[in-house]
């Protein structure tokens, strides 16, 4: 098989290119693409457990824990004990992260526009649907 026909290569190469561009856009806000994923969840939901965050961004618990540790040090999130179940931790966005939300969301729109600029409207819909199908596949 030609490398250009290998799905892993195509997805990895395109993801790497998008990741690098998104990293540059987010750099001025002190946020990484992975941290943006967490913040996006928190901005929309308010507070979540690390497990809920992991499920929403498709990451394993140890990976989420590492991301949250760095975010807490950067004062982007706060952790607290769940008053309903003291064994659980709740994560919420700080005021600092809320203050950069509009600019970070604008950077995300810029990313999407750049990545999709050479696709027709129909191709954009097809690409998003295909990627979501892969994400939600059981394998």
Predicted pLDDT of residue 83: 86
Predicted pLDDT of residue 115: 97
**Within a 13 Å sphere around the CA of 67, how many CA atoms are in the beta-carbon half?**
21
74 occurs within a structural domain: yes
7 occurs within a structural domain: no
- pLDDT above 90: residue 82: no
CB atoms within 10 A of CB 92: 15
C-alpha distance from residue 106 to each of 3, 100, 112 (Å): 35, 10, 10
Q: What is the total count of domains within the chain?
A: 1
86 occurs within a structural domain: yes
- pLDDT above 90: residue 126: yes
CATH code of 92's domain: 1.10.10.10
Predicted pLDDT of residue 139: 86
User: Which strands, in side-by-side order, build the sheet including 89-93?
Assistant: 47-48, 89-93, 77-81
4 occurs within a structural domain: no
Percent of the chain beyond pLDDT 70?
A: 100
pTM value surpassing 0.85: yes
Cα–Cα dist 139/14, whole Å: 21
- pLDDT above 90: residue 87: no
10 occurs within a structural domain: no
- pLDDT above 90: residue 33: yes
Q: How confident is the model at residue 74 (pLDDT cuts 50, 70, 90)?
A: very high
For residue 60, give every residue at least 6 positions away whose Cβ sits within 8 Å of its Cβ, in sequence order, or none: 54
Residue range of the domain that includes 112 = 15-135
> If you average pLDDT over residues 7-13, what whole number do you get?
96
Q: Which two structure tokens, joined as six digits, stand for 120?
A: 């027709």
């Amino acid at each position: 098989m030609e490398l250009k026909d290998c799905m892993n290569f195509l997805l990895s190469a395109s993801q790497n290119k998008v990741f690098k561009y998104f990293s540059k856009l987010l750099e001025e806000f002190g946020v990484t693409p992975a941290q943006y994923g967490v913040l996006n969840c928190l901005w929309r939901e308010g507070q979540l457990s690390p497990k809920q965050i992991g499920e929403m961004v498709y990451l394993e618990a140890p990976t989420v824990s590492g991301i949250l540790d760095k975010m807490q040090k950067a004062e982007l999130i706060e952790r607290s004990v769940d008053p309903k179940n003291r064994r659980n931790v709740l994560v919420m966005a700080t005021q600092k992260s809320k203050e950069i939300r509009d600019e970070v969301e604008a950077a995300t729109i810029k990313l999407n526009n750049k990545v999709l600029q050479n696709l027709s409207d129909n191709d954009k819909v097809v690409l998003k649907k295909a990627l979501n199908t892969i994400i939600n596949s059981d394998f």
